[in-house]
Structure 1
Amino acid sequence: MDQQSVTMSDVARAAGVSVTTVSYVLSGKRAVAPDKREAVQKAVAELGFRLNTVAQSLRTKRSRTVALIVPDIANPFYAQLARGLQDAMRPERYHVVVCNTNADRAEELLYLDDVVRRRLDGVVITPQWLAPEDFDAVRAAGIPVVVSSDTGPGSLDLVRADSHEAVDQAVAHLARQGHERLGMLAGPAGAPAGDPRLELYRAAAGRHGLDLPAGLIVRGKHTREAGAEGLRRLMSRKKPPTAIACVNDRTAVGALEAAEQLGLAIPSDLALIGHDDIEIASLVRPRLSTIRYPAYEAGSTCGRLLLERIAGRAGRSEVALRTRLVLRETT
């Protein structure tokens, strides 16, 4: 029998069950007795049945596809985020399409437009340059949005890092070691949501008696290259910092490489601390002290909130995932 002509009714007859039972087995929406499920699976394999997802989407008006829009897919943090999102969505038969913006506003807007034009079922996004009104078209189309970021635009669902305690512990640790001048490799200037991690370090420095002056804050992209360039700029100051906090681990690794090129001993000449605890943080030498943010859990939480929205949940949800300080060899 031609695979394209095999129907669910054919599968039901071969398995000795109803079409409804076949549908439940294929969709996973309801539990089916093990013997019936096995009979359906056997019939599917023998007949070569393939579910017509196009026809199904036309009936349900759902694409069974969601978008994950991130600023830098080369950052392993977002790979783990994507994995967590996919693992949360897959049991409900959703596919995840990953879109990389290179932290560019035009690309962010383009992908949001694609989400609307293609009528995707939802979107998870880490925006860099988007304001609340930039999501108006997506919301008008009834497409759920979940933001994965330290802060979110408007009234959208948000999954964020709660790094208040971890940052305070990091700065307290630096103070106990005798550091007085703290530098910061922060994110780019002008982002609509500001720079929450910089603000956390500013507040913690004030509480623990460290100086974090504007002249010891360098803004740039969340990349190794920006980290290396930022460290060189900071260490060229008349009074350079004795410790540097970095907006993420990729920036910190770049700073670590530049410090080695400058002949600085880490941590005796300069202490470094990152954020996120991606895999490379424990592989570089010296091993990077950092603040661990559970990327996989962030992705799976975004998936759960998105599924709830797709199912019709109303009202905004915000989930703060607690981070923790991981002390290694750079502090």
Structure 2
Amino acid sequence: MADVARAAGVSSATVSYVLSGKRPVAPATRAAVESAIDELGFTVNTAARSLRTGRSSLVALIVPDIANPFFAQLAAILQEELRGLGIHVVVCDTRARREEERALLAEAVQQGFAGVVITPFRLLPRDIRTLTDAGIPTVVSADVPFGPVDLVTPDARTATRQALERVTAAQRRRIAMIAGPRDATGGDPRLELLRGLARQFGTSLPRELVIRGEHTREAGAEGFAELMRRRYRPDAVFCVNDVVAVGAMDKARELGIDIPGDVALVGHDDASFASLVHPQLTTIRYPAEDVGRAAARLLKGRLDGRSVHRTVRVKAEFVARASA
């Protein structure tokens, strides 16, 4: 680092600030330091730094399904935001299994990770104490509070209301939902939000029109088929996420049911494929980019010594397309 400082004509502390991103550096100074780094082929010795600071250079991102584009995008943004600190992100896919989630928490402690960002699927708030008791900075991304930890959570009330306005304006009153499993973390807050708001539009979400399953395309297809076997078929179906919605769309096509002519379909998340399917998917956009940046800011604060936990609410947006 001293060689880089001499070549750039700055102090070693300034080089450290450029590498860590912990303090602002003038653009011209940053450019000089980066040029010196390139010329000298300087790299950070992360192993030595870990021995010196007692902290790893790795952060675990634990998600239930990395095949879901939402989580893939979240991973990319988180890595981009943390790269300036010399921190790398290890992505861990739990496949929505509680035993895998708990095993990965234990592994994060065993490996001494610098931090963990997690979207729990079947964990309980007490499980997160595995991390916090070990002093590992932790950020939870979830729809429900998760104890005394930093939280990134959606603010989807307005967007959900707008989705219901669109559906009911088309004289659709038999609202259904393909929701998550009963044992998912915190129940299903998206279902409860939809159910509560439906009453304001003079309709309801009866128990017989709620189908529960995993957050998968297959579960979406099975759930839609089940709804179409009901005596009173729904004329609008909300889905817990876009992956489930595409499964429902697959089954509708197989059954000869027109979307949106026979049944309106609404997803959640606005995954990258939502505008590519036919018909294009109407959805509630929960921006993975904003979630990733919020999680990175919270984690940086913890790494810098902040002790008070914080909650960041990320605004969801209604995206009207052809399916509803």
What whole-Å deviation, never above 9, does each CA across 1:192-245 have from its counterpart, x for those lacking one? 411000001101111112231111110011111110010001101111111100
Match of 2:165 in 1: 172
Match of 2:189 in 1: 196
1:297 to 283, 286, 290: 290
1:271-282 alignment runs, 5 A limit: 271-282=264-275
Match of 2:32 in 1: 38
Rounded to whole Å, the distance in 1 between the matches of 2:6 and 2:84 is 26
Q: Tell me the amino acid that sits aligned with residue 243 of structure 2.
A: R
1:210-221 alignment runs, 5 A limit: 210-221=203-214
Match of 1:205 in 2: 198
Q: Tell me the amino acid that sits aligned with residue 222 of structure 2.
A: E
Structure 1: gaps of 5 or more residues = 1-7
Match of 2:251 in 1: 258
1:48-127 alignment runs, 5 A limit: 48-127=41-120
Does the CA contact (< 8 Å) of 1:276 and 1:292 recur in 2?
yes
- Aligned residue pairs total 323
Is 2:282 the counterpart of 1:286? Answer: no
Match of 2:143 in 1: 150
Q: Say which SS state the counterpart of residue 66 (structure 1) adopts.
A: strand
Structure label with greater radius of gyration:
1
Match of 1:4 in 2: none
Query: Taking structure 1 as the reference length, what is the TM-score of the superposition?
Result: 0.91
Q: Flag the 1:116–1:328 CA change in 2: closer, same or farther, 3 A.
A: same
User: Which region of structure 1 is more displaced relative to structure 2, 299-308 or 143-152?
Assistant: 143-152
Does the CA contact (< 8 Å) of 2:69 and 2:271 recur in 1?
yes
How much does 1:314 deviate?
Answer: 2.0
Does the CA contact (< 8 Å) of 2:19 and 2:84 recur in 1?
no
Q: Tell me the amino acid that sits aligned with residue 70 of structure 1.
A: V
User: Identity percentage over the alignment?
Assistant: 51
Q: Tell me the amino acid that sits aligned with residue 159 of structure 1.
A: V
Rounded to whole Å, the distance in 2 between the matches of 1:239 and 1:126 is 36
Query: Taking structure 2 as the reference length, what is the TM-score of the superposition?
Result: 0.92
Q: Flag the 1:227–1:9 CA change in 2: closer, same or farther, 3 A.
A: same
What whole-Å deviation, never above 9, does each CA across 1:124-156 have from its counterpart, x for those lacking one? 100011112112221111111111111132121
Does the CA contact (< 8 Å) of 1:130 and 1:153 recur in 2?
no
Q: Tell me the amino acid that sits aligned with residue 38 of structure 1.
A: A
Q: Tell me the amino acid that sits aligned with residue 165 of structure 2.
A: A
Q: Tell me the amino acid that sits aligned with residue 89 of structure 2.
A: V
